[in-house]
Chains A and B, each alone.
Chain A
Amino acid sequence: MQLLRSYRLLVTWQALRKKNYLPLMMAVQTLFSLGIVLGYPLLFPTLDKTSIYLIATGAPAISMVSVGLVALPQTIGEQKAEGSLAYMRSLPVARLAYLVADLTVWLAIVIPGVVLGVLVGAWRFGLDLQVSPLVLPAVVMVALTATCVGYAIASLLPYMLTVIITQALVVFVFMFSPLTFLPDKLPGWLEAIHRVLPIQAMGEITRGTLAPNEFGLPLGAFLTLAVWCVLGFGVTYAAMSRRG
């Protein structure tokens, strides 16, 4: 009961803190999606049907991964550096309530960008996406894993290192991760790395539920994401509870 009360109050607090940034964040995510769906056809004037579906479903996936693995860790790193995270950790609330409340608000930030990304892709390519009924839990799982892993990065690393690593992640996610293309396009060693990392699984689950008629939905991807999600949450929770 106390946990729920704390959770509710902390969601209010964190949502109010981020309300000024929400429109900006949504605009950036929409621009991401727009950039991808408008930019790729310029690079590759003749796109086959599979490529079009890959781009249209890859855009919202990239948007989720970018917020979770880049924007979130940079924000949390900044909060660590300025001392505001320490203040929140000094409040008389369970660490679990704080962490789950913050993740809830981050999810709320991610999801509208995904919807906009899907709409932009469908509009640009004139697609009639027959989304799977699993799309909502799937998107929530992808977004939750991205935010948990992002949170763990910021919790473990010093701020400056977080900034450097997340900048590098932007390039890695955009150019070298199988979100807007299939993994067989990658060199063997990178393909092997992506079989372990969560990004490929995020792409597979997003496109498998947004365009189930075009792509399969490998169960292994859910397992990979579940492992990363639990790992990210566990590491973050441990770091949050740890006394230096």
Chain B
Amino acid sequence: MLLEIAELTKVYRTGIRANDGISLAIDEGEVFGLLGHNGAGKTTLVNQVVGLLRPTSGSIRIDGRDMVADPGLARRLCSFQAQAQVPIDGLTPRQAIDLLGQLRGLSRGDVQRRRERLVDSLDLGEWLDVDAARLSGGIKRLVAFAMAAVAPGRLVMLDEPTNDVDPLRRRLLWRQVRALADHGAAVLLVTHNVIEAERSVDRLAILDEGRVIAEGTPAELKGRLGAALRLELVLDPDLIDLPVSPFGLSAVPVGNRLMVGVPTDAAGPAVAWAESLKRAGSIEEFTLGPATLEDVYVALVGGSEAAPAQVEEVFDATAA
């Protein structure tokens, strides 16, 4: 494995335990997703890998070499797109990408070739010579991605790379993320966009309160949910008691919706049950569809209202 993280714990001076015994491994050619709510500990993890934070305990190895002991080496081996906007106001995308490529050791000629390919692939040509201060947030993020990708390290870490990016260019961006892995880099992708992650990652881990609460391929995690289908009920605003699922699988409230896990062979009874709820006025509408990674995520981490303890019970019940 290229990146090996073992029992990584980070406790801030304030006493906050942001990472709590995290172990992960990512191989070359792999796009690995790190999912979790805001405050789940994703950025703390990434900042320790790139040497901005010192772990309280645990180890981080790239190619078997100790990154905690040598943060300078960590910065050379990792390309990093931070969650915050890159400080490039005053520079044009051309200047910013070229500077990063040269700082990572490429010659001017190589940087120029790589930059031209990236700019074409991300459809950034019309902004190439515009001062970044005048660029939209989405275009700036694409430039930041190009800066991380122009001379990629063995490990490429992307923290929320698609924030503010328009849908068409998001596709172009995902294609380039895959291309980085295809060329041999390990890609660690930090996101809370579960739907995009499902389409883009090979494996993923879900973080909650600093711990890895699930890890695997999207298919494996969906398998653990035990439900191939998902019934989404839009609850009546005046409803007091939540409907009780007859299927014995997860039923997680998310806002004014209830996400109910349904076995494949129970599609008919599920629709009948939902229609009876609708007739009774308990729900406004419903949809039945295939379960997604989002359902796994919701079952594990819960909607904003779901208490973590409840959610874990739900998942334990469904995983058993």
A residues engaging B (CB < 8 A)?
Answer: 5-6, 9-10, 12-13, 16-20, 79, 82-84, 86-94, 243-244
Whether A6 and B84, one on each chain, are in contact in the complex, defined by CB atoms closer than 8 angstroms, is: no
Whether B91 and A243, one on each chain, are in contact in the complex, defined by CB atoms closer than 8 angstroms, is: no
Interface secondary structure of A, over-half rule: helix
Q: Which 9 A-B pairs have the closest CB atoms?
A: A83-B84, A84-B87, A243-B54, A92-B76, A17-B90, A92-B75, A16-B91, A87-B82, A16-B90
Whether B103 and A87, one on each chain, are in contact in the complex, defined by CB atoms closer than 8 angstroms, is: no
Whether B88 and A17, one on each chain, are in contact in the complex, defined by CB atoms closer than 8 angstroms, is: yes
Q: How far, in angstroms, from A18 to B153 measured CA to CA in the complex?
A: 28
Whether A83 and B83, one on each chain, are in contact in the complex, defined by CB atoms closer than 8 angstroms, is: yes
Stretch among B24-32, B45-53, B112-120, B304-312 lining the A interface: B45-53
Which of B71, B72, B82 makes the CB contact (< 8 A) with A83?
A: B82
B residues engaging A (CB < 8 A)?
Answer: 12, 47, 50-54, 71-72, 75-76, 78, 80, 82-91, 95, 99-100, 102-105, 131, 133, 153
* Contact A86-B91, Cβ < 8 Å, known A243-B52, A244-B52: no
* Contact A243-B82, Cβ < 8 Å, known A9-B103, A13-B99: no
Whether B99 and A17, one on each chain, are in contact in the complex, defined by CB atoms closer than 8 angstroms, is: no
Whether B84 and A86, one on each chain, are in contact in the complex, defined by CB atoms closer than 8 angstroms, is: yes
**Nearest CB of chain A from residue B109's CB, rounded to whole Å:** 16
Chain B residues whose C-beta falls within 8 Å of the C-beta of A16 in the assembled complex: 90-91, 95
Closest B residue, CB atoms, query A242: B54
Whether A84 and B72, one on each chain, are in contact in the complex, defined by CB atoms closer than 8 angstroms, is: no
Interface secondary structure of B, over-half rule: loop
* Contact A86-B82, Cβ < 8 Å, known A20-B90, A243-B71: yes
Chain A residues whose C-beta falls within 8 Å of the C-beta of B80 in the assembled complex: 87, 90
Chain B residues whose C-beta falls within 8 Å of the C-beta of A9 in the assembled complex: 99, 102-103
Q: How far, in angstroms, from A84 to B52 measured CA to CA in the complex?
A: 13
Which of A5, A86, A244 makes the CB contact (< 8 A) with B54?
A: A244
Chain B residues whose C-beta falls within 8 Å of the C-beta of A10 in the assembled complex: 103
Chain A residues whose C-beta falls within 8 Å of the C-beta of B104 in the assembled complex: 92
Closest B residue, CB atoms, query A8: B102
Q: How far, in angstroms, from A86 to B87 measured CA to CA in the complex?
A: 10
Chain A residues whose C-beta falls within 8 Å of the C-beta of B153 in the assembled complex: 92
Closest A residue, CB atoms, query B96: A13
Whether B91 and A90, one on each chain, are in contact in the complex, defined by CB atoms closer than 8 angstroms, is: no
Whether A94 and B72, one on each chain, are in contact in the complex, defined by CB atoms closer than 8 angstroms, is: yes
Whether A92 and B103, one on each chain, are in contact in the complex, defined by CB atoms closer than 8 angstroms, is: yes
**Nearest CB of chain B from residue A237's CB, rounded to whole Å:** 14
Whether B72 and A87, one on each chain, are in contact in the complex, defined by CB atoms closer than 8 angstroms, is: no
Q: How far, in angstroms, from A63 to B50 measured CA to CA in the complex?
A: 39
Whether A17 and B89, one on each chain, are in contact in the complex, defined by CB atoms closer than 8 angstroms, is: yes
Whether B50 and A90, one on each chain, are in contact in the complex, defined by CB atoms closer than 8 angstroms, is: yes
Q: How far, in angstroms, from A6 to B99 measured CA to CA in the complex?
A: 10
Q: How far, in angstroms, from A92 to B84 measured CA to CA in the complex?
A: 18
Q: How far, in angstroms, from A146 to B104 measured CA to CA in the complex?
A: 32
Q: A6-B103, A243-B53, A243-B54 are in contact. List 17 more A-B contacts (CB 8 A).
A: A9-B102, A17-B88, A17-B89, A17-B90, A19-B90, A83-B83, A83-B84, A87-B80, A87-B82, A89-B52, A91-B75, A91-B100, A92-B76, A92-B105, A93-B103, A94-B72, A243-B52
Closest B residue, CB atoms, query A94: B72
Closest A residue, CB atoms, query B153: A92
Q: How far, in angstroms, from A17 to B71 measured CA to CA in the complex?
A: 26
Whether B84 and A90, one on each chain, are in contact in the complex, defined by CB atoms closer than 8 angstroms, is: no
Whether A87 and B51, one on each chain, are in contact in the complex, defined by CB atoms closer than 8 angstroms, is: no
Whether A91 and B103, one on each chain, are in contact in the complex, defined by CB atoms closer than 8 angstroms, is: yes
Whether A243 and B51, one on each chain, are in contact in the complex, defined by CB atoms closer than 8 angstroms, is: yes
Chain B residues whose C-beta falls within 8 Å of the C-beta of A93 in the assembled complex: 75, 103
